[in-house]
Amino acid sequence: MSMGPVDARLLDEAAHWLARSHSSSFSAAEQQELARWRSRSPEHEQVWLCAEQLQERLGSLPPALGMAVLNRPRRRSKRRQALRHAALLLATPALGWLGWRHLPWQSWSADYRTARGESRSITLADSSRVLLNTDSAISVRFDTQARRVRQHAGEILVETAHTAAYAARAFVVETEEGRMQALGTRFIVRRQQGRTRLAVLEGAVRVTPARSGSSVIVQAGQQLAFDARTAATPSPLAAAPDAWTHGMLYAERMRLQDFLAEVGRYREGLLLCDPQVAELRVSGAFQLRDTDRILELLAQTLPVNVRSRTRYWVTVTGE
């Protein structure tokens, strides 16, 4: 489900109805009126469904972030204002940098998912293990032919098991870009801007892009990226590709802009890099559980300042 720009009045109405529907005084007459409102047009229904899906995340959405982003006066109730901000984050392409515009909608109904900064380990029916990194989502479907993990978003590490009852069923990870069949292995899959990145730690993985009839086998110690049509040539693994499973981020002469993009995956809000310092290099080992400390270390070791408009809007600039 995706939306283009939506009339602000419609967003206000959806916010009003969502607030009313969670009130203890919501009457039967109002329920009927809400049903009529939703049936006025497909756009009404789509906005309503999106608002409902965001309900779960409203508790972690800082109102100050919405105000800073939208630069609007506080004229509505806090509840309605927060709901409208959430709807705007979904509906306005200009706010795509917050990550909401490209959020895979199927991840809302995924079997397993993690929040920003969270990790989670899942043991599947065949005893295989899937570790979800920050802001990730998967669905799992086992049938008589295959063991399928559908990766909607984020990054996962897979450790396949060899349980006799499932030995004849292929273990497959699928993304929008294609299919990866494990050949007795341990590997990492990351979805990133219309591409899937695979890193094989043990064994091998057969990669088949979604719109290609050809496959490539990636061996242990190799990585590659692919889209729906083509797969790159496998190359040697980067250093410590599974460092995140230990709560660490390793950098070796990484561009500051790229480094901050990685750190930003593990904290709420915006973490921006001034183009004037984007090419500075970062090396070291950093603990992801404390991203504020990472920013303090940058300010101590590089010629940069860390400027915070709010806790959720931080920019790294030159001194």
3-state secondary structure of 43: helix
User: What tens digit of pLDDT does each residue of 281-299 get?
Assistant: 999 999 999 999 999 999 9
> What residue ranges in 177-277 does DSSP mark as E strands?
178-182, 186-192, 195-202, 204-209, 216-219, 222-226, 235-236, 248-255, 270-273
Provide CATH code, domain 107-236: 2.60.120.1440
Q: What is the pLDDT of residue 66?
A: 36
**Of 94 and 147, more confident:** 147
Give 148's strand partners.
141, 172
On the 0-12 / 13-18 / 19+ scale of CB atoms within 10 A, 137 is buried
Whether the pLDDT of residue 76 is over 90: the answer is no
The overall average pLDDT reported for the chain is 82
Mean pLDDT, residues 291-318: 93
**Of 232 and 72, more confident:** 232
Task: Give the integer Cα–Cα distance in Å for 129 and 149.
Answer: 11
**Of 5 and 284, more confident:** 284
**Of 221 and 103, more confident:** 221
Nearest partner of 151 among 120, 196, 193, judged by Cα: 196
**Of 108 and 226, more confident:** 226
Asked whether 82 and 63 are in contact (CB, 8 A), the reply is yes
Tokens read off for 25: 């005084």
Per-residue pLDDT band for 92 (boundaries 50, 70, 90) equals: very low
Whether the pLDDT of residue 78 is over 80: the answer is no
% residues pLDDT > 90 (the chain): 58
List Cα–Cα distances, 132 to 124, 129, 181, 255, in angstroms.
13, 10, 18, 26
**Of 284 and 47, more confident:** 284
Nearest partner of 261 among 235, 294, 232, 212, judged by Cα: 294
Tokens read off for 195: 């591409």
User: What tens digit of pLDDT does each residue of 267-277 get?
Assistant: 988 899 999 99
SS (H, E, C) 88-144: HHHHCHHHHHHCCCCCCHHHHHCCEECCCCCCEEEECCCCCEEEECCCCEEEEEECC
**Of 208 and 75, more confident:** 208
Q: What is the pLDDT of residue 219?
A: 97
Question: 216-219 and 204-209: which strand pairing?
Answer: antiparallel
Q: What is the pLDDT of residue 58?
A: 45
Whether the pLDDT of residue 250 is over 90: the answer is yes
Length of the chain: 319
Residues of the chain with CATH 3.55.50.30: 247-318
Q: What is the pLDDT of residue 285?
A: 93
Q: What is the pLDDT of residue 88?
A: 47
User: What tens digit of pLDDT does each residue of 161-219 get?
Assistant: 988 999 899 999 999 999 999 998 999 999 988 899 999 999 999 999 999 889 999 99
Residues of the chain with CATH 2.60.120.1440: 107-236
| CATH number among 3.55.50.30, 3.30.1360.40, 3.40.50.11260, 3.40.640.10, domain 247-318 | 3.55.50.30
Task: Give the integer Cα–Cα distance in Å for 173 and 147.
Answer: 9
Whether the pLDDT of residue 71 is over 50: the answer is no
Whether the pLDDT of residue 47 is over 70: the answer is yes
Contacts of 253 (CB under 8 A, 6+ apart): 281, 282, 283
* Identity at 149, one-letter amino acid code: V
Asked whether 224 and 207 are in contact (CB, 8 A), the reply is yes
Mean pLDDT, residues 139-153: 95
